[in-house]
């Protein structure tokens, strides 16, 4: 028999969502009339908007005609879409040939790890989106895991807590490492300021490290002083790759479309431009994003699409406000509950001092019939926190907020 890839046996953190579902199902089977509401998922709920739907449908129709049919396209994406991303989302700070259109940010995060191999050291924010750690473990970057703990020898966890305003101590960044950084952050909802990102870029350059900047939630930023891209920071072109997504802003979680920016200045120790290897990798193990999805993405960046997208995001941000308000009532004050995020991000991050994440999760499930996400599932520094997602229909959010506002622990 063929042997299992031993790196896969090092994976531990894939338990979070299965464990949530297990507890949820157990509760629902004993309480079938509870009317459970989920504020636990990072999945969009609102329908695609008309301008984008029209563009998707028109592209499907074109594919059914002799003149409009197209097969494989350029692996890096339609040139019109690459131009539009550079212009609309990056104000031409990056050039269209540095934009690589893909089937999603998560997929690119997984592929990026191939570029650096199994010996690279990795640093992540703690708590973090699970793919950074698990993707690193899969390629062996953390092969010397200390069994049974979340401390991997090859992965440095940089705590992001209320004490440091959810921005890590950059002194923890190892030399010559890959640094995963997500802003607006999933799960904390924190958005790094220009000053903070300036420190991050400066440190990465001093340490010869590369930042993988996940900007999947950039479109949720409403405060104009907050940077939407790492490339707004001087020096980032020499030390950063940015991964973006159409999933959350336009509801393409199922349609699938994202992009990665690799600046031409970014180089490996031997001087090889990273973009050269990324190009090679992209055309070898990826065959281009769906041309239907790309037509939709292009429409979302046209003026009518931008207006619609803003409305969709406003809807989710209003949901976040409703959740925040519910958690700032008098009984929460008595419990010392602290509420973060949800203003420039779709996630509300809530601290219950002295309590364990999973205990709060169980209490909210049993008393409010609401499903949330235990912060400890995103990393050790998430202990005592709970994440609420603002992706949901307004009726459900209002009902969940009502129930939450009566919570007593
Ligand atoms: C949802 C999400 C993504 C999006 O991934 P896609 O593959 O583009 O759907 C990326 N990063 C973070 C942190 C996310 O929460």
CB-based contact 347:330 (threshold 8 Å): no
Q: Is the CB of 341 under 6 A from ligand 1?
A: no
Same domain, 69 and 186: yes
Domain interval for residue 57: 51-302
pTM above 0.75, yes or no: yes
214 CA to centre of own chain: 6
- Sequence-distant (≥ 6) Cβ neighbours of residue 329 within 8 angstroms: 405
Same domain, 277 and 348: no
Which of 302, 318, 334 is where one domain is finished?
Answer: 302
93 CA to centre of own chain: 22
Which helix or strand (DSSP H or E) is residue 111 part of? helix 105-116
Same domain, 286 and 312: no
Q: Which of 56, 93, 96 is nearest to 78 (CA)?
A: 96
As given in the structure block, the two tokens for residue 366 are 């049993």
Same domain, 217 and 347: no
- In this structure, the residue with its CA closest to atom 15 of ligand 1 is 186
Q: Which of 360, 329, 326, 323 is nearest to 345 (CA)?
A: 323
Expressed in angstroms and rounded, the spacing between residue 186 Cα and the centre of ligand 1 is 9
**Which pLDDT tens digits describe the chain residue by residue (409 residues)?**
999 988 888 887 567 888 999 999 999 999 999 999 999 988 999 999 999 999 999 999 999 999 999 999 999 999 999 999 999 999 999 999 999 999 999 999 999 998 998 888 999 999 999 899 888 888 887 654 444 444 445 789 999 999 999 999 999 999 999 999 999 999 999 999 999 999 999 999 999 999 999 999 999 999 999 999 999 999 999 999 999 999 999 999 999 999 999 999 999 999 999 999 999 999 999 999 999 999 999 999 999 999 999 999 999 999 999 999 999 988 888 889 999 999 999 999 999 999 999 999 999 999 999 999 999 999 999 999 999 999 999 999 999 999 999 898 8
Q: Is the CB of 129 under 6 A from ligand 1?
A: yes
Same domain, 88 and 60: yes
Residue 1 lies in a domain: no
Expressed in angstroms and rounded, the spacing between residue 335 Cα and the centre of ligand 1 is 33
What stretches of 192-302 show up as alpha helix (H) in DSSP?
A: 194-206, 247-250, 274-285, 291-300
Q: Is the CB of 107 under 6 A from ligand 1?
A: yes
Return phi, psi of residue 211, to 5°: -90, 130
- Sequence-distant (≥ 6) Cβ neighbours of residue 142 within 8 angstroms: 10, 122, 133, 136, 152, 153, 154, 155
Same domain, 80 and 31: no
Q: Is the CB of 215 under 6 A from ligand 1?
A: no
Residue count of the chain, please give it.
Answer: 409
Q: How many domains does the chain have?
A: 2
Q: Is the CB of 244 under 6 A from ligand 1?
A: no
* Residue of 248, 260, 286, 391 best suited for mutating to test ligand 1, as the one with most atoms within 8 Å of CB: 248
């Amino acid at each position: 028999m063929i042997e299992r890839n031993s790196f896969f046996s090092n994976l531990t953190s894939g338990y979070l969502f299965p464990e949530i579902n297990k507890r949820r199902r157990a509760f629902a089977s004993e309480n079938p009339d509870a009317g459970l509401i989920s504020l636990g998922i990072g999945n969009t709920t609102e329908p695609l908007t008309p301008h984008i739907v029209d563009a998707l449908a028109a592209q499907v129709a074109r594919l059914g005609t002799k003149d409009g049919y197209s097969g494989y396209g350029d692996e890096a994406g339609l040139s019109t879409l690459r131009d539009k991303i550079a212009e609309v989302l990056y104000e031409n700070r990056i050039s269209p040939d540095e934009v690589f259109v893909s089937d999603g940010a998560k997929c690119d995060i997984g592929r990026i790890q191939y570029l650096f191999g199994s010996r690279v050291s990795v640093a992540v924010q703690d708590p973090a989106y699970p793919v950074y750690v698990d993707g690193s473990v899969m390629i062996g970057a953390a092969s010397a895991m200390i069994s049974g703990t979340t401390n991997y020898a090859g992965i440095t966890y940089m705590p992001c807590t209320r004490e440091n305003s959810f921005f890590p101590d950059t002194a923890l960044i190892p030399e010559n490492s890959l640094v995963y950084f997500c802003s607006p952050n999933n799960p904390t909802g924190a958005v790094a300021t220009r000053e903070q990102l300036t420190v991050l870029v400066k440190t990465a350059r001093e340490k010869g490290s590369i930042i993988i900047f996940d900007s999947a939630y950039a479109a949720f930023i409403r405060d104009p002083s907050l940077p939407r891209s790492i490339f707004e920071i001087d020096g980032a072109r020499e030390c950063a790759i940015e991964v973006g997504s159409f999933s959350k802003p336009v509801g393409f979680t199922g349609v699938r479309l994202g992009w990665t920016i690799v600046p031409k200045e970014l180089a490996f120790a031997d001087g090889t431009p990273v973009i050269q290897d990324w190009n090679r990798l992209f055309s070898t193990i990826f065959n281009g994003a769906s041309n239907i999805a790309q037509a939709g993405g292009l429409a979302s960046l046209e003026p009518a699409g931008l207006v619609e997208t803003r409305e969709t995001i406003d809807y989710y941000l209003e949901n976040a406000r409703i959740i925040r308000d519910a958690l700032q009532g008098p009984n929460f004050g008595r419990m010392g509950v602290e509420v973060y995020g949800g203003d420039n991000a779709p996630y509300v991050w809530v601290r219950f001092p002295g309590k364990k994440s999973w205990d709060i999760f169980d209490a909210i499930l049993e008393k409010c019939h609401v499903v949330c996400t235990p912060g400890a599932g995103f990393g050790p520094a998430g202990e005592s926190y709970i994440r609420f997602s603002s992706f949901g229909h307004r009726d459900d959010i209002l009902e969940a907020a009502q129930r939450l506002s009566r919570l007593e622990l």
